[in-house]
Chain A
Amino acid sequence: MRSVAVQQQWPITWFNDVIGDALRNNGIVPQGTLWRTYGALEVYMPEAEYILALKLLAGRPQDTPDIQALISQLGIQTRDQAQQALDRYIPDRQVQQLNQAPMTLQRMFP
């Protein structure tokens, strides 16, 4: 990352890698599906349900369109179903509470 930043004269933060440890510390990170290989670099695609869980945990206003799209794609129709997706990857309810995930769920369903 640093090498690419120097070569391209980009900020060192051009690629956000600080989230990795936080995700591993707060829940279950699925293996995902190998999408592309570039030499030693392997790029994995996570399950849509995992992305939904992360979006529900983040719960920023700009996540709302993504959450709505993922809920639709996954065929989720109720708040309880969305809660189950969240529980699968972020099982600690205290972590959910501290990140206001219950309120995000409340905001996402009419």
Chain B
Amino acid sequence: MAEDSHVSSGVPLRDYAIADAYRDICAGAPPWVALNEFQHAWYESPAELRAQLAAAPLLLPPDPTEEQWRWAVFCAAGVEWLCAQAELPCPAWALDARLQLAEPWYDFDAPGAHKEDVRAYLRERTPQPFARRNIYCGEKVLTDKRAFVARRPTKR
């Protein structure tokens, strides 16, 4: 689908920045609910509005829990990756070198995340903005669901 067809009126369906998503995660929202809302806003918006959705830095709690810190690092990595995909400059806050995990975080602690073959697969497939911050989540993270078309065998 052409990029222009994403927007009919220039008005995004949602105005929900990454800082909003992180605020809601810290307030107890399921992380993927908040992040999906941000993703929808991002992919529904033209480039100039996408930059606005990424611009505001996260407001971290004074003493973040491990979970809150992990999601803050994920949000920074996600913004860097999304901006690179959209050929937008990454906001400085997301490149703060402190936003990094001390220990690797594999697959958001999915049931099989401890398996070595899963970990090797994720290390191989995870985009650099996440892997550099010690998050190993594979290549399907934060992708546009409208672009999802199941891969099919090539006909000979």
Contacts and interface: CB of A to CB of B under 8 A. Distances in A.
24 contacts: A9-B8, A9-B11, A10-B8, A10-B13, A11-B11, A11-B12, A12-B8, A13-B146, A16-B146, A18-B1, A22-B148, A58-B140, A61-B138, A68-B111, A95-B151, A95-B153, A98-B153, A99-B151, A106-B112, A107-B107, A107-B111, A108-B110, A108-B111, A108-B112
Decide if the interface of chain B is mainly helix, strand, loop or mixed.
loop
A106 B115 contact: yes
A61 B1 CA distance: 24
B12 to A, nearest CB: 7
A12 B6 contact: yes
Contacts of B32: 61-62, 65
B148 A107 contact: no
The residue in B30, B112, B146 that gathers the most chain A C-beta atoms within 10 A of its C-beta is: B112
Interface residues of A, number: 37
Interface string B132-156: 0000011011010110111111000
A22 B150 contact: yes
A25 B86 CA distance: 29
A62 B36 contact: yes
The residue in B8, B9, B117, B150 that gathers the most chain A C-beta atoms within 10 A of its C-beta is: B150
Interface of A: 2, 5-6, 9-14, 16, 18-19, 22-23, 25-26, 57-62, 64-65, 68, 92, 94-95, 98-100, 103, 106-110
B113 interface: yes
A59 B112 contact: no
A100 to B, nearest CB: 8
Contacts of A14: 13, 44
B5 interface: yes
Decide if the interface of chain A is mainly helix, strand, loop or mixed.
helix
4 smallest beta-carbon distances between A and B, as pairs: A98-B151, A62-B32, A12-B8, A60-B140
B112 A11 contact: no
A68 B111 CA distance: 9
Contact of A60 (B1, B6, B114, B141): B141
A13 B1 CA distance: 10
Given A26-B150, A60-B143, A64-B108, A11 B13 contact: yes
Contacts of A65: 30, 32
Given A10-B11, A107-B112, 16 more contacts: A9-B8, A10-B8, A12-B7, A13-B5, A13-B44, A23-B150, A25-B150, A57-B150, A60-B140, A65-B30, A94-B153, A98-B153, A103-B118, A106-B115, A107-B110, A110-B111
